[in-house]
Amino acid sequence: MTAAHTPDGLRSDSGAVGAAGTGEDRADAVRLLEMEFGELFTHVRRMYAEMANRLSPGMLPGAYKVFTTIARRGETTLSSLAELLHADKGQISRTVRELEELRLVQRAPDPADGRSSLLTATESGLERWNAARAPHENSLLTALETWQIDDIRELTRLLHALSTSASPRG
């Protein structure tokens, strides 16, 4: 097995090491993964900023994240949203008001709790969101067009395992 060094001085083994690699191999592999995540996060932040601006000129990426979370969940409460995003309830409340003013989000009484409201994306908001993210969806399709579908599914499975702290082996 050969080892290559990255410009940052980290080793990258070519060939499969498996779970039996040394502690140094594992530490090097994790450092390389962290480095790639840093690059990916930078790309995603830039992409969120572009999509936020397409959704509503001047919208900040944080507001875009709040909107997309509401849209993906279908409906949610302010408290659930703040908990899910690990954010201050007051800040989430201000952001939701901004989204309401932009007619991206609407409130309705929560039938399960009269003191609370259910937040949902408006039809117009969903249409604008689809238009805002279409260019990036196409670029991801293009970036992955040479990948085998099984590789895409495997990456998805591994990312899910990582995000839920589950073993990738099941």
Cα 133-134-138 angle, rounded to 5 deg: 120
b/e map 23-39, b = 16+ CB within 10 Å: eebeebbebbeeeeeee
Determine, yes or no, domain membership for 21. no
Determine, yes or no, domain membership for 86. yes
Q: Domain range holding 54?
A: 36-163
| Under 8 Å between Cβ of 117 and 110 | yes
Determine, yes or no, domain membership for 107. yes
Torsion of CA 119, 123, 125, 128, to 10 degrees: 160
Question: What is the tens place of the pLDDT at every residue in 150-167?
Answer: 999 999 999 999 988 898
Determine, yes or no, domain membership for 22. no
Rounded to whole angstroms, how far apart are CA atoms 152 and 149? 5
Q: Taking the model in full, what pTM does it have? A: 0.71
Considering its fold, how many domains does the chain have in total?
Answer: 1
Determine, yes or no, domain membership for 128. yes
Question: What is the tens place of the pLDDT at every residue in 116-143?
Answer: 899 999 999 999 999 998 888 778 888 8
Determine, yes or no, domain membership for 5. no
Determine, yes or no, domain membership for 29. no
Backbone angles phi, psi at 162, to 5 degrees: -65, -45
Q: What is the CATH number of the domain that holds 57?
A: 1.10.10.10
Determine, yes or no, domain membership for 61. yes
